[in-house]
Structure 1
Amino acid sequence: MEQYFVSQRDSIFKHVEVLIYVFDVESRELEKDMHYYQSCLEALLTHSKDARIFCLVHKMDLVQEDQRDQIFHERENDIKRLSKPLSCECFATSIGDETLYRAWSSIVYLLIPNVSRLESNLRQFASVLEADEVLLFEKATFLVISHCTLREHRDSHRFEKISNIIKQFKLSCSMLAASFQSMEVRNGEFTAFIDLFTSNTYIMVIMSDSTISSAATLMNIKNARKHFERLEKQKRLHGDSPLLFSYRLVVSSDQ
């Protein structure tokens, strides 16, 4: 870790767009953890003062359930106080539930350039389709990067569940030397269409109106591809980052 802040400081912290720092909520070296975090912030102030900062307070499942909110808010307040004059956003996460997926989706969402325009177009598209819900997933990770819900759904964790199912299915396809492109799921209550959309995304469309033919929905998805591809290209032409982004992964020695 010391090498990051001495001999490699310039190469690691120069031109940084995003810092994601992970705190172990059960760490017995909290003071040392905070010291390393502040060292990162000092390096950012020197080399990349406009970088976005996100902190994950991780392994929250190891904390007693009735104490989680209090401990997280205490840790969040400490982190934000030590982050000044920079600002950061904090997430309580655990690998054992939906919180880690939700945190990563939120981070990706906040990094998408011109996201309001993307959402506006997605909302208009959902309205044209008369869909219950339309979602855009990032192609590689299947994180939700945008969605429009016109009919409320009772399961607030459905995005993570869908993502896990599709990732497992993609893995099964790859083991058979096949690539996943699309899927249609139908029952008595709804039809779900999942299809490769733009070069960086998959789209999922949920329809409960049985009078609308599948062929019409698939044709509308096909016709919308070029429009959403143009939206992505416009972001690049305007100097913004594409939906996908590269990152450096720093893993502590005890992980």
Structure 2
Amino acid sequence: MNTGKRQKQRKVLLMGKSGAGKSSMRSIVFSNYVAKDVRRLGATIDVEHSNIKFMGNLMLNLWDCGGQDGFVENYLTHQRAHVFSSVAVLIFVFDIESREFAADVISYSSIIRALQENSPSAKVFVLIHKMDLVQARLRQQLFEERAEYIRAASEGFKDTVEFWATSIWDQSLYKAWTQIIYYLIPNAGSIEALLRQLAEVIDARELILYERTTCLTVTHVTRGLEERNPFTDRFERISSILKTHKQSMAKHTNLPPNIANFAEMQIKTGRFMFFITRLTENTNLAAAIPPSEQIFNAARVNISLVRPRFAELDIGSAKASARGGIQQAFASSGMGAVEDGRRRDGEGESGGVE
């Protein structure tokens, strides 16, 4: 599907003071590190460039910028136009326990001015990191105080900058990076719309789309009573579980963690049924459905029928995003949607799930 398509490149700056945790989070999100392994990472020298393929044709041109004062001064003077031009996203990381917070904000403000000068349409995400080091009862208040102080120094990005409290030891890191990735995917809305149509067809309580390599959530659709689910971090929890599972498979198969993967996982209970399966070459789909074997089997068949339609929505396929939806996908397969063991377009016809 991707042959001949031009990759969409997005320049992403990852900046912040030395020791704030930039390289650690990058390694966990994109290099399949686990939190305890990042201790062996050294300080970043100048700029480390990474070209990360995400969701088919999206290429993240990630610049992990060293945070030592000498490097920052160089970025702002001799390399100002080179570093800060054509930037899609700036991710600035603050260490919540920094003893020089005011100085960190002054440095941030200088970087923001350089960004506004060279990439005024960029998006800014501020991650207030290492929140696990703060007492639980004080975290929210301290986060809000720091966020307001930083917002005041955000110049022209004051009204659009987004703040996230993060830690490598819980799901907050995945939650923040999920929002960053969602912003970078140009046709996320089309994918979400198609996912919503699929959820209606298979009567899913929830559908969650994950990128296969990083296990980050791309988007999700929630329906009915599931909208009142009290576990608001469930998507990030599943990301963490999938990541850990990939690490375990890599360990026992001697495959690199970015290659190790699984075909399908199923959970069946008296209250719900849940499965995660491959949707496209680049994505996994998690589905929560009612506790019915017929609905479960029909859902799996319908997902297999619409896989080519989702594959067409790889990044950069503008023509594909303008085509018909789920029903056209079923029509092009020569079948109607399967429901409760029978095809919707005629009971008793071949192709249904028994």
TM-score range, shorter chain: 0.7 to 0.9
1:49 aligns with 2:109: no
1:169-208 aligned at under 5 Å gives the runs 169-175=245-251, 176=253, 177=255, 179-208=261-290
Matched, 1:167 2:256: no
Q: Deviations over 1:133-170 (max 9, x none)?
A: 11001222111121111241342232222222222222
**Given the superposition, is the C-alpha separation of residues 168 and 65 from structure 1 closer, same or farther in structure 2, using an over 3 Å criterion?**
closer
Distance of 1:11 and 1:210 partners within structure 2: 57
* Partner secondary structure for residue 220 of structure 2: strand
Please identify, of 207-216 and 160-169, the stretch whose mean Cα deviation from structure 2 is larger. Answer: 207-216
Corresponding residue of 2:324 = none
| Matching residue of 1:119 | 192
Q: Where does residue 34 of structure 2 map in the other structure?
A: none
Which structure 2 residue ranges, 5 or more long, are not aligned? 1-70, 322-354
Pick aligned residue for 1:138 from 202, 208, 211: 211
The farther-off stretch of 179-188 and 121-130 is 179-188
The equivalent of 2:131 in structure 1 is 60
Which deviations, in whole Å up to 9, do the C-alpha atoms of 1:108-150 show, x marking residues without a partner? 2233324333222211111101112110012221111211112
Q: 1:252 — aligned with what?
A: none
What residue is the counterpart of 1:227 in the other structure? 309
Say which SS state the counterpart of residue 287 (structure 2) adopts: strand
Alpha-carbon distance in structure 1 between the residues aligned to 2:265 and 2:293? 20
- Report the secondary structure of 1:91's partner residue: strand
Q: Tell me, what secondary structure is at the counterpart of 1:7?
A: coil
Deviation at 1:214, TM superposition (A): 4.0
- Deviation, 1:64, is 3.1
Segments ≥4 residues shifted beyond 6 Å:
none
Q: Does 1:35 align with 2:106?
A: yes
Is the 2:289–2:296 contact (alpha carbons within 8 Å) kept by the matching residues of 1? no
CA 1:173–1:94: 2 relative to 1, 3 Å: closer
Q: How does 1:232-251 map to 2 (within 5 A)?
A: 232-233=314-315, 235-237=316-318
C-alpha separation in 2, matches of 1:142 and 1:157: 15
**Displacement of 1:203:** 0.6
Change (3 A) 1:18 1:222: same
In structure 1, distance between residues paired with 2:149 and 2:84: 23
Q: Are the equivalent residues in 1 in contact too, given 2:171–2:240 (CA < 8 A)?
A: no
1:217 equivalent in structure 2: 299
- 1:244 maps to what in 2? none
Quick one: distance in 1 between partners of 2:176 and 2:295? Answer: 36
Q: Which moved further from structure 2: 12-21 or 159-168?
A: 159-168
CA contact (8 A) 2:202 2:295 kept: no
Tell me by how many angstroms 1:211 deviates: 4.2
Mapped contact 2:268–2:291 kept (Cα < 8 A): no
Cα gap change, 1:169 to 1:158, in 2 (>3 Å) = same
> Counterpart of 1:83?
154
Residue 147, structure 1, aligned to residue 233, structure 2: no
Structure 1 residues 107 and 29: CA distance shift in structure 2, 3 A: same
The equivalent residue for 2:95 is 24
Letter in 1 for 2:207: V
Cα 1:199/1:47, change in 2 over 3 Å: farther
Is 1:158 aligned to 2:229, yes or no?
A: no
Taking a change above 3 Å as real, the CA distance of residues 63 and 168 of structure 1, as seen in their structure-2 partners, is closer
Residue 216 of structure 2 aligns with an amino acid whose one-letter code is L
Q: TM-score, normalised by structure 1?
A: 0.83
Indicate the SS of the match to 2:153.
Answer: helix
Distance in structure 2 (CA, Å) of the matches to 1:217 and 1:37: 49
How many matched pairs? 238
- Does the Cα contact within 8 Å between 2:112 and 2:155 map onto a contact in 1? no
* RMSD, aligned CA: 2.3
User: Given residue 189 of structure 2, which amino acid in structure 1 is its aligned partner?
Assistant: S
